[in-house]
Amino acid sequence: MARKKSEGSTSNLFFENLALNLTKFSGSTTAFIIAFGVVLVWAATGPIFKYSEAWQLVINTGTTIVTFLMVFLIQRAQNKDSIALHLKLNELIAAEKGASNRLIDAEDLSESELNLLKKHYNKLVKLTEKDHDIQKSHSIEEAEHRHKTKITK
């Protein structure tokens, strides 16, 4: 299925594509080898520059700049992954008959509301543990029934 390009300005699309490509590259073996090579070259030039403060400043400045930029790149990738994960979970909640639609967008609830929901589900876990029989909550028959229900839809 072809994906439609997201709407937005040319500069937004440029930076989105740049960030995507940098994210992919920065996690690659090639990026690691390049970074390792830079450190090796820097270390090898130590005797040439007599391990001067300027020589040390080069690697310190370089790593600081890269780290600074990577923080934003990693956070952007994490935000995008988080949104995608929430959308997938929301779809599952919305599609499941017995699931509470109140949990769609649960990430927007306050901490006290989340703690209240956590207590609710902890109570369900304790009630299930009292059964001492996993087949009461997860049986082969239940799995077959769910599968048949999905096929007929």
The answer to whether residue 110 scores a pLDDT higher than 70 is: yes
Structure confidence by residue, pLDDT tens digits, 31-82: 999 999 999 999 999 999 999 999 999 999 999 999 999 999 999 999 999 9
Average pLDDT, the chain: 88
- Residue 85: other Cβ atoms inside 10 A: 11
Mean pLDDT of 86-90: 93
145 against 95, higher pLDDT: 95
Query: Residue type at 78?
Result: Q
Structural domain spans, the chain: 9-107, 109-153
pLDDT at 146: 78
Decide if pLDDT at 1 tops 80.
no
The whole-number average pLDDT for the span 85-111 is: 90
pTM over 0.75: no
Q: How confident is the model at residue 4 (pLDDT cuts 50, 70, 90)?
A: low
The pLDDT value given to residue 139: 74
User: Has residue 2 got a pLDDT over 70?
Assistant: no
**117-141, pLDDT tens digit by residue?**
999 989 888 887 776 666 666 677 7
Share of the chain above pLDDT 90, in %: 59
DSSP per residue, 41-100: HHHHTTTTTTT-HHHHHHHHHHHHHHHHHHHHHHHHHHHHHHHHHHHHHHHHHHH-TTS-
